[in-house]
Amino acid sequence: MKTDSNLEKVLASGEFAVTAELGPPRGADPEDIHKKAKLLGDCADAINITDNQTAIVRMSSIAAGILLKQRGLDPVIQIVTRDRNRIAIQSDVLGAAAHGINNVLCLSGDHQKFGDHPTSKNVFDIDSIQLIQMLKKMRDEKKFMSGADIDVAPRLFIGAAENPFADPFEFRVIRLSKKISAGTDFIQTQAVFDVEKFEEWMKLVRKKELHKKTHILAGVIPIKSAKMAKYMKENVAGLRIPDEIVSRMEKAKDVKEEGIKICTETIERVRKIEGVQGIHIMAVAWESIVPKIVERVGLLPRPPIRKEDSNANESKNPNG
């Protein structure tokens, strides 16, 4: 084990993992995080906290992660390279690790054009693959990107995203293998709606035996309404939603129930695909539905979250 991460423990045990996404508030109220944490805490092994997703300003992912940590949950901090350079990211990762946060998901991030500050300057000093490399070096070599020594290295379980539905299709697998050789321990994919296409991608993944070198969690998004399905189909970069899903939502009498059904069917199908080791549920703004979904697919209860070794904690804290 590289870390105390609960997610790492679950994946290493071979259990089918469940992670869920939490979008922090557009304000300073910690109650928002606590409310969502209450909903997600018992049905997910780890909780991803988005980093100013779609370039809209929200509470910092690390700060929200600390709140989760205080509740005994296992946060996955998302870091985008859009807003911070290598200096800021390394510093933030040390800070997060000092608060006991282990899981970091490396992303390049949506362009600021999509957000609420479209006239801002972006950073992109490094890209997501270089971010993975940098974190691995910090953890394994105890060195900063510059080569300077780190006295106490952060213990990190490093994640990355991949989009099996973006183009060019064949290159997506090469890119995954680049992320693995950079050092990613786990992958959370873009939301799967087109299961056939996802299967095709997984076939290429297995051909290169990449599923043996990293843990792959398939992303899912429960859709709340036909309008949302249509909106996502037309406006969200990198999502592929088949017409059939939109028409199922349009025809449904109980739309919410249909949305849940589509989601649970997807989970059941991807679960059977060789090499898929978990799911990642992105129910941003519909967190309340996650427990029901996880229950329906028979993935409850979750294994108890491992508490940090209290002895180790004491030895770290001379005053404790």
Partner 1 sequence: MIVAEQKPIAEIISIAFKHKSILVVGCGTCVTVCFAGGEKEGKTLSSLLRMKAQMEQKLLEIEELTVERQCDHEFIEKIVPLAGKVEAILSLACGAGAQLIAEKFPDKIVYPGLNTTFLGITEKQGIWKERCLGCGTCLLDKTGGICPIARCAKNLLNGPCGGSQEGKCEVNPETDCAWQLIYERLKKLGQSECLEEIIPVKDWSTSRDGGPRKVIRDDLTL
Binding site for partner 1 (CB under 8 A): 82, 86, 108-111, 113, 122, 124-130, 133-134, 145, 161-163, 166-168, 171, 174-175, 177-178, 181-182, 190, 237-238
Nearer Cβ to partner 1 (4/51): 51
Q: How far is the CB of 301 from partner 1 (least distance, A)?
A: 33
What span, in angstroms and rounded, lies between the C-alpha atoms of 205 and 173? 6
Kindly state the smallest distance separating residue 310's Cβ from partner 1, in Å: 39
Closest to partner 1 by CB, 27 or 238: 238
Sign of CA dihedral 251, 257, 260, 266: negative
Categorise residue 55: left if φ over 0, alpha if ψ from -120 to 50, beta otherwise: left
Burial per residue of 114-149, b for 16 or more beta-carbon CB atoms within 10 angstroms, e otherwise: ebeeeeeeebeebebbbbbbbbbbbbeeeebbeeee
If the CB atoms of residues 111 and 306 are measured against partner 1, the closer one turns out to be: 111
Nearest CA to 256 out of 209, 288, 219 is that of: 288
- Max Cα–Cα distance, the chain, nearest Å: 63
Least distance in angstroms from the C-beta of 299 to partner 1: 26
Closest CA to 157 of 99, 77, 238, 83: 77
Q: Minimal distance in Å, beta carbon 174 to partner 1? A: 6
In the bound state with partner 1, the residue whose beta carbon lies nearer, of 151 and 167, is 167
Residue nearer to partner 1 on the CB measure, 163 or 264: 163
If the CB atoms of residues 28 and 148 are measured against partner 1, the closer one turns out to be: 148
C-beta neighbour count of 31 within 10 angstroms: 10
Backbone angles phi, psi at 29, to 5 degrees: -85, 115
Closest distance of CB 39 from partner 1, Å: 27
Are the beta carbons of 36 and 66 closer than 8 angstroms? Answer: no
The CB-of-123 to partner 1 minimum distance in angstroms stands at 10
Q: Token pair for residue 58?
A: 């929200």
Are 128 and 108 in contact by the 8 Å Cβ rule? The answer is yes
Asked if residues 219 and 172 have their Cβ atoms less than 8 Å apart, the reply is no
- Min dist CB 54 to partner 1, Å, is 11
Among residues 109 and 154, whose Cβ is nearest to partner 1? 109
